[in-house]
Amino acid sequence: MNRRHAVKNIAFLMGGALSATTIGVFLDSCNPPSDKKGASLFSSEQDLVITELADTIIPTTKTPGAKAAGVGPFISMMMAECYPKDAQDVFVKGLDDLEARSKKEFNNSFAKISAEERKQLVGKLRDETIETLKKDNEQAEKDKAANKEPKKNPNFFAMARDLTLLGYFTSEIGATKAYEYVEIPGRYDGCVDLKPGQRVYV
């Protein structure tokens, strides 16, 4: 299986398309993204914000959420080790902007406000991101029509969403609790009808 097929499989696993920046990370060669590596990319306060952001995207419901699956440290590691510097800079700025908005609207750090308040902020951020990505896609189509190379504009929330989903559904908790997990499967069935409310198989 080549890398492009692997990316498509990951996108399918996560139930939708990856952002252009994340696809670029998977398709590009594994060159060091920048001089900043490991935990040094983020402060301890930013690591807390990343963990709470991931847990807001995938909260605990009938199954454990992103925090229980250790997605926060996964995001920090992936961003520091795999993403290029321009994406890292956008992500760090996005964290700072999210923190500033939290303090402005709720007078406290994003990591310390209530789950409902975090949900409100992330909802606004999600809606803004949808509009931004829509405009980026329109511009990319224009660039293709003009035989230009479309620009890949890193987007903070899109990257956070991608890494949250990737980290969660490839974790032990995501694979065994969120999916219908069969440790030792029997015969292969290419098409299995699911009962209402049943989890998909992994």
Q: Decide if 197 is inside a domain.
A: no
Structure tokens that stand for 33 in this block: 């993204």
Q: Decide if 33 is inside a domain.
A: yes
> Which amino acid appears at position 195 of this protein?
K
Cα separation, 58 vs 165, whole angstroms: 8
* pLDDT of 1 over the 80 cut: no
Q: Decide if 126 is inside a domain.
A: yes
Model pLDDT, residue 179: 64
Model pLDDT, residue 182: 58
Over residues 69-125, the pLDDT tens digits come to: 999 999 999 899 888 899 999 999 999 999 999 999 999 999 999 999 999 999 999
Give the residue numbers spanning the domain of 116. Answer: 3-178
pLDDT category, 42, cuts 50, 70, 90?
very high
Report the percentage of the chain scoring pLDDT > 70.
Answer: 71
Q: Decide if 39 is inside a domain.
A: yes
For range 58-62, the mean pLDDT: 91
Over residues 151-182, the pLDDT tens digits come to: 778 899 999 999 998 888 888 888 787 765 55
Q: Decide if 51 is inside a domain.
A: yes
- When divided into structural domains, the chain yields a total of 1
